[in-house]
Amino acid sequence: MLNGYDVIGDIHGCADRLEALLSRLGYEKNGGVWRHPDRMVIFLGDYIDRGPQILETLKIVRNMREAGSAECLMGNHEFNAVCWNTSDPDHPGQYLRSHNEKHTAQHAATLEQLAGCYQPWIQWMRTLPLWLELGDLGGDGNRLHMVHACWSPEAMRALLNGECGGEAMLTGRKDAPRLTEAGYLRAGRDKASCEYQAVDVLLKGPEIPLPENTVFQDKDGNERDRIRVRWWLGMGETCRDMALMGEEDIAALPEDARPEPGIWEAIPVEYPTFFGHYWRSPGEGIRLYAPSVACLDFSAVKGGPLVAYRWNRGDSALRDDRFVWVGRDADATARSKRIFFP
């Protein structure tokens, strides 16, 4: 009997730490596949790019998925990789994601490390669902919601009902749909299209513009005039109050920058909801953002911990003491334990 889900955030090629985390969660490797007698993993996407062991990471998550001991969601990096590899029918010789300098740099580690086996992995990435709705194993019909960045019912409806295109954009199970060929073309090609915007919200999260003439420099040195927002909350007084980014990025925002009044409305959270993507800083504490909101990305590839959330059969709500993580080494983990649970 399935007795629990272990939800794991962005890995970005940190395979050693993924194996350490699986081991800490009680999974064992047999015949090349990590399994647990009565639990399964939900991976929240972003397996590739940036890190040193991308091929190993992909093999771990794919083998677990094929064996039924995991489900793997699509992250924005996998979506970008598919678009990088899909020819643009309107512009012969070009791709849905242009091969410009910035995009090439973002994808370079994957291109290098998957040399010789790149195409089959892209085909695999095409099969990843955009979101996943599960039962909570509690017997009362409640659900769990999992997505890479933002659980937006509006974006899901637009894709499911063909509200913008008409053609079928999604296929597969309704509670774990993936994009069709037409879906990739629509969502990857035209930034103004409703499919592009829907996928963008699900995989990258909603953003609001900063006030006029306000910019900040993000952790990668890019100048930005928009911020990712704490999408389950409504308007805040300042942009910093509303920002959903790592500590450093929030500190780089001008303190007095105020959002345009009424520019944002909260997206209501109906069930316990899990996502990754947001490069949280371990210093802010490994804990819930809100009673039903768990973000599991603590910047593992930049030296932060790789974090899982354990949902057990019978749980009815999220709890701060269900996070499990591994740091870069034992010392870092011990230190972070003292900091996070004083």
Residues engaged in binding Mn ion (CB under 5 A): 46, 75-76, 277
In the bound state with Mn ion, the residue whose beta carbon lies nearer, of 46 and 195, is 46
> H helices then E strands: how many in the chain?
11, 17
Task: Compute the distance between CA of residue 3 and CA of residue 6 in angstroms, rounded to an integer.
Answer: 10
Closest alpha carbon to 131 in 67, 43, 2 = 43
Work out how close the CB of 47 gets to Mn ion at its nearest, in angstroms, rounded to a whole number: 10
In the bound state with Mn ion, the residue whose beta carbon lies nearer, of 46 and 71, is 46
Residue whose CB is nearest to Mn ion in the complex, by number: 277
Work out how close the CB of 49 gets to Mn ion at its nearest, in angstroms, rounded to a whole number: 9
Work out how close the CB of 76 gets to Mn ion at its nearest, in angstroms, rounded to a whole number: 4
Work out how close the CB of 124 gets to Mn ion at its nearest, in angstroms, rounded to a whole number: 18
Task: Compute the distance between CA of residue 21 and CA of residue 14 in angstroms, rounded to an integer.
Answer: 11
In the bound state with Mn ion, the residue whose beta carbon lies nearer, of 6 and 46, is 46
Cβ contacts of residue 225 below 8 Å, gap of 6+?
Answer: 209, 210, 214, 215
Work out how close the CB of 276 gets to Mn ion at its nearest, in angstroms, rounded to a whole number: 6
In the bound state with Mn ion, the residue whose beta carbon lies nearer, of 33 and 296, is 296
In the bound state with Mn ion, the residue whose beta carbon lies nearer, of 301 and 326, is 301
Work out how close the CB of 12 gets to Mn ion at its nearest, in angstroms, rounded to a whole number: 9
In the bound state with Mn ion, the residue whose beta carbon lies nearer, of 11 and 114, is 11
Which secondary-structure segment (H or E) carries 185? Answer: helix 181-189
- Long-range pairs for 291-298: beta carbons < 8 A, 24 or more residues apart: 291/317, 291/318, 292/232, 292/317, 292/318, 293/232, 293/269, 293/318, 294/7, 294/318, 295/9, 296/7, 296/8, 296/9, 296/10, 296/44, 297/9, 297/10, 297/44, 297/46, 298/9, 298/325
